[in-house]
Amino acid sequence: MLFHTLKFFCFFLIVYHIYIRFNHRWQNRLLLFSSYYFYGSWDWRFLSLIVISTLVDYFCGLRIYNTDKKAEKRKYLFLSLVTNFGLLGYFKYFNFFAANFYQLFSSFGVAVNPLYLKIILPVGISFYTFQTLSYTIDIYNGKIKPEKNVFDFALFVAFFPQLVAGPIERAKSLIPQVKAVRKIDFTMIKEGLWLFCYGFFLKVFIADSMVRIVDQVFNASAPVSSGIVSLMGIYAFAFQIFGDFAGYSSMAIGISKLLGFDLMTNFLYPYLVTNPSDFWKNWHISLSTWLKDYLYVPLGGNRLGKWLTYRNLMITMLLGGLWHGAAWTFVLWGFYQGIILVVHRFVKQEISFPKVPMKFERVWFAVKVVVMFHVTCLGWLIFRAQSLGQIGYMLGNIFNRFSVDMSLGITFGLQILQYTWLFWIIHLIQYKNDNNFAILNLSQRFKYPICIGMLCSVMFIIVTTVLSHGKFGDQPFIYFQF
């Protein structure tokens, strides 16, 4: 059930109509039932996985907290880790590792029968696995107390707005909101509607429009042999993945606000930063902070000296890349992210540059933003490519065959501008005010044209999609596959 479909609108209106009439206890029960229905609409069989994770972590959390023996605490933490990572590993990585072991043995002349299973990846398993794991780890570390009400804990795990693609919430933030009586005021409704509409705009008008360019470049039956076309395809994917994932997060946070919940901000301004460290403070914030708190810091963070800090960064980003998918392109993407973080840290600490004169500060800032955007786009090429060979081929196009088929490249470039200019206006206003609700605070002569522009843009896409395909809303979110 996709957020931008009529089916979801009907589902949410029915749930919301009942929700606002219930008391707190029955609101929670309704949300839990609705969350299971929402997830079951993808494939009801996978509801068992959420129930298993919920019951195991609920039980382990209580046992970890109620025993004073360190060995007992470790035993139940280990049970939680094995259960959650076991399910994630089986459904997401079994065939990947089986194929690579087969290739490894074959390279040494050892005959083995390849073992491949017909496994369907459950939607959102990477997200809710990390969310529920943080619960038992935080109890083990003494940061929170366990939740005694199993139904409230189940709602924390399965809360439908952020169940399948985040934000990855922490128990210390979300469970208190589940437990407390929620008051929905006009401000929350206004902000919730804005976030949902803005996310809808990002998904439908920007992300889904970029798909046409991205698929022509990356999924073409014959390899694209033009540098400018390859570059425009990478640019298009940069906007597709932002519009798609930031759009989903914005809609999820907006829906939650309408229900009286405050979820963490998951995206800020990742394409207006000047270095890779700031990129990860603005991109998929719930994942980057999870990796920092539960992987980077336990490894030693930056407390063990320069070289071990570099090691910790590389391990964290390699595993972060593998989290995204079972393919060597994702591993390479994680390696690339680790490298640029290490290089940035080294340059920042070891090399001193002369201060830029004040009159050139804005120009220098703009140059750094453009450079960092292209550093990010190189990462998106690695992320989106269907094979390692495609990465090398497209880079070869850019550096050796750039001027081939200029007309198609220019056409793609103009289409990217056509679909992103309004986004940049909104984005720059938000960035300048450091506020995702900055548009709501503008005067009417600026606010209304922007909102009308968003509405017309979305309606244009809906009408043209229905006329050409006969239906609308069948383009899934990219991160559902992760």
Q: What is the largest CA-CA distance in the chain?
A: 73
pLDDT of residue 194: 94
State how far the Cα of 132 lies from the Cα of 46, in Å rounded to an integer: 16
pLDDT for residue 223: 77
Torsion of CA 355, 357, 362, 367, to 10 degrees: -60
Domain ranges in the chain are 21-183, 188-481
Look-up of token digits 């992987």: 295
Amino acid letter, 84: N
Rounded to an integer, what is the distance from CA 326 to the centroid of its chain? 16
Q: Produce one character per residue of 352-378: b if its CB has 16 or more CB atoms within 10 Å, e if not.
A: eeeeeeeeeeeeeeeeeeeebbebbeb
Residue 17 vs residues 9, 24, 258, 441: alpha-carbon distances, Å: 12, 14, 12, 29
Residues across the chain: 482
How would you classify residue 296: left for phi > 0, otherwise alpha for psi between -120 and 50, otherwise beta?
alpha
Angular region, 327: left φ>0, alpha ψ -120 to 50, beta rest:
beta
pLDDT tens for each residue of the chain, 482 residues long: 788 888 999 999 999 999 999 999 999 999 999 999 999 988 888 899 999 999 999 999 999 999 989 999 999 999 999 999 999 888 887 777 777 666 766 766 666 666 667 777 788 888 999 999 999 999 999 999 999 999 999 999 999 999 988 799 999 999 999 999 999 999 999 999 999 999 999 999 999 999 989 999 998 777 788 899 999 999 999 999 999 999 999 999 999 999 999 999 999 999 999 999 999 999 999 999 999 999 999 999 888 888 999 999 999 999 999 888 888 899 999 999 999 999 999 998 888 777 888 888 889 899 999 999 999 999 999 999 988 999 999 999 899 888 888 899 999 999 999 999 999 999 999 999 999 899 998 888 898 999 999 999 889 888 887 777 777 766 777 777 66
Take residue 355 and report the two structure tokens written for it: 């201060």
Instruction: Decide: 412 and 242 in contact? Cβ < 8 Å.
Output: no
Residue 225's pLDDT is: 81
Token readout for 77 is 């933490």
460 and 206 Cβ atoms separated by less than 8 Å: no
Predicted model pTM? 0.92
Which of 18, 263, 15 is CA-nearest to residue 163? 263
Cα–Cα dist 454/449, whole Å: 9
> How distant is the alpha carbon of residue 12 from its chain centre?
22
Which residue type occupies 109? G
Phi-psi region of 43 (alpha: psi -120 to 50; beta: other; left: phi over 0): beta
For the chain, how far is it from start to end, CA to CA, in angstroms? 16
Backbone angles phi, psi at 45, to 5 degrees: -65, -30
CA–CA distance from 125 to each of 96, 225, 320, 467 (Å)? Answer: 17, 37, 15, 35
Residue with tokens 């550096």: 399
Q: Which tokens is 53 given? A: 């994770």
Tokens describing residue 112: 């083995």
CB contact at 8 A, 245 and 477: yes
Q: Which residues are catalytic?
A: 324
Q: For the chain, what is the HEC assignment?
A: CCCCCHHHHHHHHHHHHHHCCCCHHHHHHHHHHHHHHHHHCCCHHHHHHHHHHHHHHHHHHHHHHHCCCHHHHHHHHHHHHHHHHHHHHHHHHHHHHHHHHHHHHHHCCCCCCCCCCCCCCCCCHHHHHHHHHHHHHHHHCCCCCCCCCHHHHHHHHHCHHHCCCCCCCCHHHHHHHHHCCCCCCHHHHHHHHHHHHHHHHHHHHHHHHHHHHHHHHHCCCCCCCCHHHHHHHHHHHHHHHHHHHHHHHHHHHHHHHHCCCCCCCCCCCHHHCCCHHHHHCCCCHHHHHHHHHHHHHHHCCCCCCHHHHHHHHHHHHHHHHHHHCCCHHHHHHHHHHHHHHHHHHHHHHHCCCCCCCHHHHHHHHHHHHHHHHHHHHHHHHHHHCCCHHHHHHHHHHHHHCCCCCHHHHHHHHHHHHHHHHHHHHHHHHHHHHCCCCHHHHCCHHHHHHHHHHHHHHHHHHHHHHHHHHCCCCCCCCHHHHC
* Angle in degrees, 0-180, between the axes of helices 125-140 and 171-179, rounded to the nearest 10: 90
Summarised one tens digit per residue, pLDDT across range 186-220 is 999 999 999 999 999 999 999 999 998 999 999 87
